[in-house]
Amino acid sequence: MLSGSRYAPLFDRVRIGPVTAPNRFYQVPHCTGMGQALPQTLIAMRAMKAEGGWGVVCTEYCSIHPSSDDHPYPFASIWDDGDLSNLAAMAEAVHAHGALAGIELWHGGSYVANLASRAPTIGVRSMPGRTDPIQSQRMDRRDIGELRRWHRDAALRARKAGFDIIYVYPSHGYLLSEFLSRSLNGRTDEYGGSLENRMRLMRELLEDTRSAVGDRCAIAVRFAANGHGAEHLSEDEARDVVAALGHLPDLWDVVPTDFDEEMGSSRFVREGAFEDRIAYVRQLTGKPVVSVGRFTSPDSMLGQLKRGVIDLIGAARPSIADPFLPTKIREGRIEDIRECIGCNICYAHNFRGAALRCTQNPTMGEEWRSGWHPERVPAGHDGSVLIIGAGPAGLEAAHVLGKRGYTVSLADAAEESGGRVTRESRLPGLAEWARVRDYRLGQINRMRNVSVHLGSRMEAGDVRDFGADHVLIATGAHWRRDGIGRWHVRPIATLAKAQVYTPDDILDGRRPAGDVVIFDDDHYYLGPLIALQLATRGARVRYVTTEGRAGAWSLYTAEQERTQRALLEHGVEVEVNSAVDSFDGVTATLSCIFTGRVRVAPASAVVLVTAREPDEALYRALVGERKEAENMLAGPDGAFPSLQRIGDCLQPALIVHAVYSGHRAARELGGTGSDPRRERVRI
């Protein structure tokens, strides 16, 4: 299928030291929220990537010793032989599809807190950790010797478990980058001072790993090609490290300095953005280079390959959004690629200590738990389904039910499909989010058994008259206009209603001007983006939030700092730990959430981003008609259609939840579902 395809070079085999990758698609190490805690879930997820055509599939950060314990985040571990069976099962599952398995050996140094192992944390010097009020123990020569032994033992175990590529990991603020850092490394021994001394430990671990396993396994190094920031490891110094150690590993896995950029959401970082900073590594080392760039377009991949920047297409998020991306390119099915939208909901789940979820790929993390395959759905019946609401929930349900063979009618009152996705994607920086709609619409448009009816508002009588066998209500939710949310449990008593706006008003194109107060009790992207949009159009914007930072939840999506910076740079007044208590049309009263102390701000308009109400009137009306209790799945008497709500109409939440809700309902319609499996610790 590839002959003559311009993408054929993406499927060349690539020699990496003693092993050969079957193609150039390389799933770099990425955290999963699964790790050692959910081994079956993890193995099935990694195996799915290999099945989908990724030529190399790596673990997440894999701790080599109890002194590197990132609890409560579910990292991988290779502390002793007891860890080997799970790791070996992953390597075997990946090998079963012809892919290579990589393992990222990791020591967190001062960064972690060892909350579970209770071992003292260790570092290049004694210093505070990332989150907890704990300082590390300064490593002496003996400790460094121990570390080298742990690393070597871990590499030997990894080889025993069947891994083909073994990482040395001197980046992302962990132990080895502490040693590299000019400012953190204050040592006066042979591991401190000059660059040669600071990179000594990195060199030693590379050499140790080579002598332990280099005959059979490739050695990879993950390195920030432009350093760790001027005060730690400057760009020039990073280049010197690559020049000095370039020959030691078999593969350079290069990233940019700033993790928030490497992990950058589509709001802030475009596809393939790191090229200028990484391009030199391949020239300098002559070794194969892999790097990420949230690549979803085969042309972007090919471009970097042809320009000699990379040899292997690194991916974490694109492989999460579409485990079958390589297969689709190989088969020339580019339009079937489920492109990552760069929302970072995947990362947020790991950050919350939960298994990966993905906005675009509702089967992510469900491969073992629910037995879901990203490309295959169970065959359905030849019944008919009416779906009301073509937002992310309705579109996903229509897509899956269409694939299952049902006759599907998807109706929406609006003149355009996509619901909230279409509307929100017009906010600053969210254009890529429209891919949620476009992927599904693209699939649906090619199905003859699915019809889309826009401009079709449905009332209960219309639904009844339609006479479908199954009805899914996906009518969404709307933002409240009374201030009720997390902070206010009752409506705000004084509100000059004519000048009160909700996010729906803004998304409908209304634009308050003058002194605008935005009250963000939701804490994610909408409040800050509305603030930015209005400020850009000349309003004097005061952003008030009950949290301690602007868009506080976006800390989990690696967007918070850039969000707050953008607000400040656009002249938005940011007032944290505060609530809006009243608004008389001229001023808003704000209060401190700790002391209740009140202050007054000029306000000609207030935008309330507080909470949503499900749009369930249609559902309620249909329930009333049936004169039955609410649980109507698979109507028992056969006289009425089966009826259920999905998406925001059932539970106002994020787009990822709406897609998942639509997917599960569609996959399980007709009784094809079963309760998800659980991984549990048994004694």
Known catalytic residues are: 174
Residue 647's binding partner among ligand ADP, ligand SF4, none (Cβ under 5 to 8 angstroms by kind) is ligand ADP
Give ∠ CA 289-293-295 in degrees, rounded to 5: 105
Task: Supply the minimum distance, in Å, between the C-beta of residue 301 and ligand SF4.
Answer: 16
Contacts of 75 (CB under 8 A, 6+ apart): 31, 35, 36, 60, 61, 62, 63, 69, 106
370 binds ligand SF4 (CB under 6 A): no
Question: 473, 626 in Cβ contact below 8 A?
Answer: no
Min CB(510)–ligand ADP separation in Å: 17
Cβ 489 to ligand ADP shortest distance, Å: 25
Count of CB atoms situated within 10 Å of the CB of 335: 11
Instruction: Specify the residue, 139 or 356, whose C-beta has the smaller distance to ligand SF4.
Output: 356
Q: CA torsion sign, 296 to 443 to 48 to 61? A: positive
With beta carbons less than 8 A apart as the criterion, state whether 660 and 357 touch.
yes
* Minimum gap (Å) between residue 93 Cβ and ligand SF4: 21
- What binding mask, one character per residue, do residues 320-359 give for ligand SF4 by CB under 6 A, x or -? xx------------------xxxxxxx-----------xx
Look at residue 499 and give its three-state secondary structure.
helix
**Closer residue to ligand ADP in complex, CB, 46/657:** 657
Enumerate the β-bridge partners of residue 609. 520
What is the number of other CB atoms lying within 10 angstroms of the CB of residue 570? Answer: 15
Stretch that binds ligand ADP, among 208-216, 270-278, 471-479, 565-573 (CB under 6 A): 471-479
Which stretch, 209-217, 313-321, 565-573, 580-588, contacts ligand SF4 (CB under 6 A)?
313-321
Closer Cβ to ligand ADP, 10 or 393, answer by number: 393
- HSE-CB of 585 using CA atoms within 13 angstroms: 3
Percent helix, percent strand, percent coil in the chain, to nearest 5: 35, 20, 45
Instruction: Please choose which of ligand ADP, ligand SF4, none residue 359 contacts, taking the beta carbon within 5 to 8 angstroms, the exact cut-off set by kind.
Output: ligand SF4
Contact positions with ligand ADP (CB under 6 A) in 301-320: none
Tokens 């395959």 locate to: 373
Q: Looking at the chain, how many residues does it have?
A: 683
384-388 and 56-63 as β-strands: parallel, antiparallel, unpaired? unpaired
In angstroms, give the least distance from the CB of 422 to ligand ADP.
Answer: 8
Strands 407-411 and 165-168: unpaired
Measured at the alpha carbon of residue 393, what is the angle toward residues 388 and 397, in degrees to the nearest 5?
75
Torsions phi, psi of 418, nearest 5?
110, -15
Q: How far apart are the first and last CA of the chain?
A: 51
Pick 15 or 270: Cβ nearer ligand SF4: 270
For 418, 458, 646, the CA distances from 462, given in Å and listed in that order, are 22, 6, 19
**Residue 35 vs 647, nearer CB to ligand ADP:** 647
CA–CA separation, 211 and 205 (whole Å): 10
Structure tokens at 4: 């003559």
Report, in Å, the least distance between residue 360 CB and ligand SF4: 4
The Cα 344–Cα 31 span in angstroms is 12
- Choose the binding region for ligand ADP from 265-273, 401-409, 413-421, 515-523 (rule: CB under 6 A): 413-421
CA distance 446 to 617: 32
Count of positions on this chain that bind ligand SF4 (CB under 6 A):
13
Which is closer to ligand ADP, CB of 215 or CB of 508?
508
Residue number, 379 or 617, with CB nearest to ligand ADP: 617
Q: How far apart are CA 607 and CA 427, in angstroms?
A: 15
Q: Which one of ligand SF4, ligand ADP, none interacts with residue 340, CB within 5 to 8 A by kind? A: ligand SF4
How far is it, in rounded angstroms, from Cα 202 to Cα 205? Answer: 5
Residue in 648, 660, 663, 670 binding ligand ADP, rule: CB under 6 A = 648
Of 35, 214, 272, 394, which lies in the binding site for ligand ADP, with binding defined by CB under 6 A? 394
Q: Using CA atoms, how far apart are residues 463 and 483, in angstroms rounded to an integer?
A: 34
- Residue 624 CA from chain centroid, whole number: 40
Out of 124, 390, 410, 588, which residue is the one contacting ligand ADP (CB under 6 A)? Answer: 390
> For residues 139 and 124, is the Cβ–Cβ distance under 8 A?
yes
The minimum distance between CB 647 and ligand ADP, in angstroms, equals 2
173 makes contact, choosing from ligand SF4, ligand ADP, none, with CB < 5 to 8 Å by partner type, with none
Query: Which helix (H) or strand (E) segment is 578 a member of?
Result: strand 578-583
Quick one: DSSP state of residue 174? S
Among 391, 503, 641, 670, binds ligand ADP (CB under 6 A): 391
Q: Of residues 112, 355, 388, 632, which one binds ligand ADP by CB under 6 A?
A: 388
For residue 498, what are the β-bridge partners? none
Which residues between 81 and 100 bind ligand SF4 (CB under 6 A)? none
Q: Contact with ligand ADP (CB under 6 A): which of 64, 89, 278, 649?
A: 649
* Closer CB to ligand ADP, 48 or 458, in the complex: 458
434 interacts with ligand ADP by CB under 6 A: no
Smallest gap from Cβ 313 to ligand SF4, in A, equals 15
Q: How far is the CB of 271 from ligand SF4 (least distance, A)?
A: 12
The number of residues that bind ligand ADP (CB under 6 A) is 24
Q: Is there binding between residue 366 and ligand ADP (CB under 6 A)?
A: no
Which residues share a beta bridge with 135? 128
Pick what 634 binds: ligand ADP, ligand SF4, none; C-beta below 5 to 8 Å, kind-dependent: none
> Choosing among ligand ADP, ligand SF4, none, which partner's interface includes residue 288 (Cβ < 5 to 8 Å by kind)?
none
Do residues 103 and 42 touch, judged by C-beta distance below 8 A? no
SS3 203: helix
Choosing from 152, 200, 420, 667, the residue that interacts with ligand ADP (CB under 6 A) is 420
Q: Are 124 and 184 in contact (CB under 8 A)?
A: yes
**Nearer to ligand SF4 among residue 158 and residue 315 (C-beta):** 315
201 contact partners, CB below 8 Å, separation of at least 6: 144, 147, 176, 179, 191
* Beta carbons within 10 angstroms of residue 586's beta carbon: 12
Residue 266-305 contact track with ligand SF4, rule CB under 6 A, x = bound: ----------------------------------------
Least CB distance from residue 672 to ligand ADP, whole Å?
22
Cβ atoms 582, 500 nearer than 8 A = no
The CA radius of gyration of the chain, in Å to the nearest whole number, is: 27
Among 247, 457, 510, 565, indicate the residue that binds ligand ADP (CB under 6 A): 457
Cβ 471 to ligand ADP, closest distance in Å? 12
Inter-residue contact 78 to 69 (CB < 8 Å): no
Positions in 574-633 near ligand ADP (CB under 6 A): 615, 618
Query: From ligand SF4, ligand ADP, none, which one binds at residue 389 (CB under 5 to 8 Å depending on kind)?
Result: ligand ADP
Q: Is 558 in the site for ligand SF4 (CB under 6 A)?
A: no
Q: Which listed option, ligand ADP, ligand SF4, none, makes contact with residue 321 (CB within 5 to 8 Å by class)?
A: ligand SF4
Indicate the residue among 572 and 654 with the shorter CB distance to ligand SF4: 654
Judged by the rule CB under 6 A, the positions of this chain that interact with ligand SF4 are 317, 320-321, 340-346, 358-360
Residues of this chain that bind ligand ADP (CB under 6 A) = 388-394, 411-414, 419-420, 457-458, 474-476, 615, 618, 647-649, 658
